[in-house]
Amino acid sequence: MPFKFIHLTDTHLANPGSTLYGLDPRVRLDAAIADINKHQSDAAFAVVTGDLTHWGEAESYANFADAMAALKIPYIAMVGNHDKRVTCLDSLKAAPSDPNGFVQGTRTTEHGLFVFLDTLDETSHAGEMCARRFDWLAKTLAAAPADMPFVVFMHHPPFPVGVHAMDEIGLKQSAEFAEVIAPYRPRIRHLFFGHVHRPIFGSYGKIPFSTLRGTNHQVWFELDAGAPHLASHEPPAYGVVLIDDENLVVHSHDFLDTSLRFPFEPPAGVDGRDYALNFPAR
């Protein structure tokens, strides 16, 4: 069986009972957790790639922790541009911490070293990695065994994704990031990030990447640089990731989808063509 883990992002928890853009982010996170517990409880762990809260209050982190306590698998909590670093670390045992107090860390798995990065700049919605964070990353990659692959997680994408308003608040040090990881690119199996609230998949150089919709609101798909920056109530999602020695597969699951489910094959005694053309079958 492949190694499985869950990718969640951009939960944007507010204080208990509060709505955000007309939705209750706690209710939607609860629904994601219930779905994971019901269908994906054999996953090794979940990774939440930032924007755990929307305004960074202690009460919002307590709300997040209370929701995540229902999850039947362990999780790693990362920070995004809406988070507060110290409050996050004070509130969540699931948030890693490096020697400099950044929300960074690693997890060794049977399929390589998972590396979790802190791209938070508390003065801007754009991403930042300072010299200390880059130094930690460089030393972490260099210290790994020469044959060990990496899977990297961060909140901000380190390259433009084509959604202009989000590209303006991507990682500011994209060139520096590319330079630090350059010697290890062949060993990086996948890059996961959040921030964009869109299902996007592709390659960054030769590194495969993916990102997903958040669990509350989304960013509307628009590639025109002159278009307004719009949010939406598109369906939320979480990712189910399957890894073996050869492949890494990411499934984006719209966990609140209620569309009709039906068998491909007709019931006994019903012609297959009639079933397909005159659905629903009589």
Residue range 51-88, pLDDT digits in tens: 999 999 999 999 999 999 999 999 999 999 999 999 99
The pLDDT of residue 1 is: 80
Residue range 151-186, pLDDT digits in tens: 999 999 999 999 999 999 999 999 999 999 999 999
Say if CB 52 and CB 85 are below 8 A apart. Answer: no
Token digits of residue 132: 């200390």
Checking if the pLDDT of 134 tops 80, the result is: yes
Q: Give the pLDDT mean for 18-27.
A: 98
> What is the percentage of the chain residues whose pLDDT exceeds 70?
99
How big is the chain, counted in residues? 282
Sketch the domain layout of the chain as residue ranges: 3-277
Say if CB 194 and CB 49 are below 8 A apart. Answer: yes
Task: Write down the mean pLDDT value for the chain.
Answer: 97
> What is the percentage of the chain residues whose pLDDT exceeds 90?
95
3-277: CATH superfamily: Metallo-dependent phosphatases (3.60.21.10)
pLDDT band at 95 (very low <50, low <70, confident <90, very high): very high
The pLDDT of residue 115 is: 99
Token digits of residue 145: 């065994």
Token digits of residue 137: 């990353």
Token digits of residue 209: 């990447």
What is the spatial distance between Cα 148 and Cα 144, in angstroms, rounded to a whole number?
6
The pLDDT of residue 282 is: 54
